[in-house]
Amino acid sequence: MNEPLIRVLLVDDEELVRGAMLAWLEDDRFQITEADSGAKALELLAEHCFDCGILDLNLRDMSGVEVLKSAQYAGRKPFWLLMTGNLDTETYQELKKLGFTDDVIMRKPIFNMQQLTTRLLNSLERCPAV
């Protein structure tokens, strides 16, 4: 019997990054839905349930922190794996206040896609909602 698919919301405004991650993650375990902006991510979160999200913290239309706050306010709380190429102290402190830990933050560019998959699966195993 097959395990249920893990529904993933992939949020990054860089098409190349989304394409690479989609090519890597889209297999028997993951069902990927893409968003190219924070606004699109919030729209998808309002319409669908996701087990987890992979979120770039530096989007063109809004910060990843704004997406996280809006999603939590709306009661949408998938597990999040966060990506950033530049994590300033203020953003880091905001993430800590929201309850995010260092193990869910990955530095971009992500060269080791197997590490991303492993972190995602390991974190989901600890998350009781999935």
| pLDDT tens over the chain, length 130 residues | 466 688 999 999 999 999 989 988 877 688 999 999 999 999 999 999 998 999 999 999 999 999 999 988 777 778 899 999 899 999 999 999 999 999 899 998 887 888 888 888 877 775 544 4
In 1-130, which ranges are E strands? 6-11, 30-35, 52-56, 79-84, 105-107
pLDDT value for 128:
47
pLDDT value for 117:
86
Beta partners for residue 52, in sequence order: 8, 79
pLDDT value for 130:
40
pLDDT value for 76:
72
The strand pair at 6-11 and 30-35 is best described as: parallel
pLDDT value for 28:
67
